Amino acid sequence: MRFEHETLAQRVRFATGEAPAALCAEVQRLGGSRVMVIASDSEAALEVAADVPVVRHHHEVVMHVPVASAERARTAAAEAKADVLVSVGGGSTTGLAKAVALTSGLPVVAVPTTYAGSEATSVWGLTEGARKSTGADARVLPRAVVYDAALTLTLPVALSVASGLNALAHCVDSLWAPRTDPIDQALAAEGIRALAAGLPAVVADPNGLPGREQMLYASYLAATAFSSAGSGLHHRICHVLGGAFDLPHAQTHAVVLPYVLAFNAAAAPEAERRIADAFGAATALDGLQELRRAVDAPRALRDHGLDEADIDDAVTAVLEAVPAGNPREATADGLRRLLRAAWEGADPAVVTVGKN
């Protein structure tokens, strides 16, 4: 066994019902006296920053973090002379805070209210025109994360399902991503196990905390693995779809995941077996599909804004973004079959046969 693994420096506080006190402690630890809170109008109503020295509230949160939106947030932070950024919300909110940190170096304390996982990675993303650019930079990694499952109770079940499957995609991609290692794979496998337990529990009891705690725990493991392993084929596809066609982030990941799993599984038998074992299923795809049926997962890209006429353009863009070392060669024909099946909501098995 020979590998190199870098663990990111980050403090994590997991305490259901204690977000305000935990956030205040983390801001104090960073010496913050002029805090800019980034939160949408709905998330701002949670008032988790009531005891923090806030000098600016910034509510313009836009999916996929358009460059113009990021510039306005950067200007707001500079005008307020902020010394700490607090993000309260999902991946788009955390992503906006990261965009500010990327150019300012300001520390971020993240308070997630979904299972997006952006809070545990050093990955940033910005969209300009029809192209989403991503990168990794230590400056954008939140210095601290405050996890409070009670803050996710307002997340509707359908969004909880999509967000949870987005976290599951982090796990699956981490098992064969360009920089994957045994530590990433162990975190990813445990993340899959916890998500497979937590997601049905949230659907069965939306107001219960145990399932949502499992979901937050799993989303952190998933994101930590993903940040180390890098972006695999699944995420390259979804970044293209989100940036070019403005598709909703979590729902796109939820739809595309079984098709990428079906596409790669036979070419990555060890990873496939780990996924299957984590699900407690005969095969990885069987386990995923059983979970998706149990939680009524999003089924087709056409339901979320992708036009059939856009498929060929998407194939061309994805071909340019396929990561090195993907277990199976990704050709235009193979990707077209994958995307068409995802657009239709067809049986994922159709992408396991035929030419790449």
pLDDT of residue 356: 54
Alpha helices per DSSP H over the chain: 19-29, 41-44, 67-79, 91-104, 157-174, 182-204, 209-229, 233-245, 249-265, 269-279, 284-295, 311-321, 332-344
Which of 46, 66, 74 lies closest to 58, judged by CA? 74
pLDDT of residue 131: 81
- Residue reference for tokens 């999902």: 90
Question: Cβ atoms within 10 A of the Cβ of 197, count?
Answer: 16
- Is residue 344 packed enough to be buried (19+ CB in 10 Å), middle (13-18) or exposed (0-12)? middle
Q: Domain 157-351 in CATH: superfamily? A: Dehydroquinate synthase-like - alpha domain (1.20.1090.10)
Between CA 161 and CA 170, with CA 166 as vertex, the angle to 5 degrees is 145
Show me where the domains of the chain are located: 11-152, 157-351
Class of domain 11-152: alpha beta
The DSSP result for 174-240, as a single string, is HTTSTT--HHHHHHHHHHHHHHHHHHHHHHH-TT-HHHHHHHHHHHHHHHHHHHHH---HHHHHHHH
**Angstrom distance (rounded) from CA 202 to CA 214:** 9
Cα-based distances in Å from 350 to 316, 320, 339, 354: 21, 23, 11, 9
pLDDT of residue 45: 78
**Angstrom distance (rounded) from CA 228 to CA 136:** 10
In this structure, are residues 192 and 279 in contact, taking their beta carbons and an 8 Å threshold?
Answer: yes
Which of 165, 354, 182 lies closest to 263, judged by CA? 354
**Angstrom distance (rounded) from CA 82 to CA 189:** 39
**Angstrom distance (rounded) from CA 271 to CA 55:** 48
Backbone angles phi, psi at 14, to 5 degrees: -120, 110
Torsion of CA 48, 53, 57, 58, to 10 degrees: -90
For the chain, 356 residues long, give each residue's pLDDT as a single digit of tens.
899 998 889 999 999 999 999 999 999 999 999 999 999 988 987 889 999 999 999 999 998 899 999 999 999 999 999 999 999 999 999 999 999 999 999 999 999 999 999 999 999 999 998 788 889 899 999 999 999 999 999 999 999 999 999 999 999 999 999 999 999 999 999 999 999 999 999 999 999 999 999 999 999 999 999 999 999 999 999 999 998 999 998 999 999 999 999 999 999 999 999 999 999 999 999 999 999 999 999 999 999 999 999 999 999 999 999 999 999 999 999 999 999 999 999 999 888 865 55
pLDDT of residue 130: 73
